[in-house]
Chains A and B, each alone.
Chain A
Amino acid sequence: QSALTQPASVSGSPGQSITISCTGTSGDVGYYNYVSWYQQHPGKAPKLMIYDVSNRPSGVSDRFSGSKSGSTASLTISGLQAEDEADYYCTSYTSTTTYVLFGGGTKLTVL
Chain B
Amino acid sequence: QVQLVQSGAEVKEPGASVKVSCKASGYTFTDYFIHWVRQAPGQRLEWIGRITPYNGGTNYAQKFQGRVTMTRDTSISTAYMELSRLISDDTAVYYCATAYTSAWSFDFWGQGTLVTVSS
Contacts and interface: CB of A to CB of B under 8 A. Distances in A.
Contacts of A34: 102-105
B14 interface: no
Given A97-B62, A99-B61, A89 B44 contact: yes
Contacts of A46: 45, 95, 106, 109
Contact of A100 (B61, B107, B110, B112): B61
Interface stretch (A16-24, A47-55, A68-76): A47-55
Determine the main DSSP class of B at the interface with A: loop
A1 interface: no
A52 B62 contact: no
Interface residues of A, number: 26
A46 B108 CA distance: 9
Contacts, number: 68
Given A89-B44, A89-B45, A103-B44, A45 B110 contact: yes
B102 A102 contact: no
A98 B62 contact: yes
Contacts of B59: 99
A93 interface: yes
A32 B102 CA distance: 13
A32 to B, nearest CB: 8
B62 A36 contact: no
Interface string B62-85: 110100000000000000000000
18 contacts: A3-B44, A36-B106, A46-B109, A48-B105, A51-B105, A57-B101, A91-B45, A91-B105, A93-B104, A96-B62, A97-B65, A99-B50, A99-B59, A100-B35, A100-B61, A100-B104, A102-B45, A102-B47
Q: Which 5 A-B residue pairs are closest in the complex by CB-CB distance?
A: A51-B105, A100-B47, A45-B109, A97-B62, A34-B104
